[in-house]
Amino acid sequence: MTVKTEELNPFAIAQAQLDEAAAILKLEPGVHALLREPIREIHVLLPVKMDDGTTQVFKGFRVQHNDSRGPTKGGIRFHPDETIDTVRALAMWMTWKCAVVNIPLGGAKGGVVCNPKDMSPTELERLSRAYIRQVGPALGLEKDVPAPDVFTDSQIMSWMLDEFSVLKGHNEFGVITGKPIALGGSAGRTDSTSRGVAICANLAAERLGMELKGATVAIQGYGKVGRYAAEILHNEYGCKVVAVSDVTGGWYNPDGLDIPNVSRYVDTEGGGLLEGYGKVDPDAKAITNAELLAMDVDVLVPAALEGQIRGDNAHTIRARMVVEGANGPTTPEADHILQERGILVVPDILANAGGVTVSYFEMVQNSYGYYWDLDTVRERLARIMTEAFHAVFEMTDHFEVHPRLGAYLLAVNRVAEAVRLRGWA
């Protein structure tokens, strides 16, 4: 498979992945054309009064890819490098993700081009409220439900929920998920994406005839997904997490890092980052993100941003399995290279679907005002993730394809069925 110039454009990648599945499924041209593009998208300008009295104008987006199976669902990113093509790709991936775990939702995504690291809490609040004022008419429990994503959190969701409630004139807690418990959030939401990653890693280990306890793990990204994945794999599954990294670089210890100590450092001395961790752990060796990806480990978890494993570096991957905590970390060319090399990839639309699954639980709980305990949430999450894992690999084995294509065949078939039944194509 040759390298294409558009390979690292996330939306082009998402469309290429769909095209590959559509060819095998022999999708009708009308259905295929409908699924290749977002059904609607919103572009907005957000004027925000900054603390110094100036006004800064930010660009924002909300993309709704497909709502044939139910209201659309997807996070909101605040990132300086956000682009409309990234948001389009993430919305499409959300459609497939919801279909893989078979919850009655479609895919959406939102984004604002900004650097939240350079903004005060009051500036972030004004930006969050400005975003909802612009896109609010397109949102709602039965229309489109946002959630936190890169550089957004439960506090930002709280501001957005409040602004939406002001616009509507009444509370509608289900319009946003990933909220604090005090505002209708769900138990188990914080680490749900990471818990899904861990569940998939365990099931993949069983498929490989491998014991996950004692397995070596490297995790790229130590944010909301990577951090909790490290803690769950270390604390609950008995894995040896030998390397972690973030935008500042990474740290490695062949005997296993002290993950509770790493998280404590990030929370207290690191200001949310891993930079400087070596000063509190002399056994940790500084490494680059490229070195982390190429480590000889049992499990590699890319949990940062898209496009990390590509055609130009896939040959350096030495892990027995790759479990994708991030969205779109592996390009189509890399998929084929890893497949040829016998490296098992648990694709993003399966591996990190725990987050949207528990967000769906949150929507259900908001709808009838009755909330589940943590054990109930985790038991239901484990059941859904396990069923989805087996369904994906049944398709993978039946069609003799790589697992991402198996996941796409499952998801696209489910969405296409809804499109046909509704008479859209």
**Where in the sequence numbering do the catalytic residues fall?**
109
Please give the Cα distance from 376 to 20 (Å, whole number): 38
For the range 119-123, what are the long-range contacts, defined as Cβ-Cβ under 8 Å and sequence gap of 24 or more? 120/51, 122/51, 123/48, 123/50, 123/51
E strands, 67-118, in order: 72-79, 106-113
Residue 232 in tokens: 């769950």
Q: What does 136-182 look like in DSSP terms, one character per residue?
A: GGG-BTTTEEEEE-TT--HHHHHHHHHHHHHHHTS--GGG--S--GG
Please give the Cα distance from 172 to 287 (Å, whole number): 46
Q: How would you classify residue 184: left for phi > 0, otherwise alpha for psi between -120 and 50, otherwise beta?
A: left
Q: Residue 16 in contact with residue 91, Cβ under 8 Å?
A: no
What is the Cβ-side half-sphere exposure of residue 267, based on CA atoms within 13 angstroms? 9
Strands 72-79 and 106-113: parallel
Residues in the chain, total: 425
Nearest to 94 by CA among 259, 394, 328, 322: 328
Burial 183-218 (b: 16+ CB within 10 A, else e): ebbbbbbbbbbbbbbbbbbbbbbeeeebebeebbbb
Please give the Cα distance from 365 to 346 (Å, whole number): 29
Please give, one letter per residue, the 3-state secondary structure of 309-377.
ECCCCHHHCCCCEEECCCCCCECHHHHHHHHHCCCEEECHHHHCCHHHHHHHHHHHHHHHCCCCCHHHH
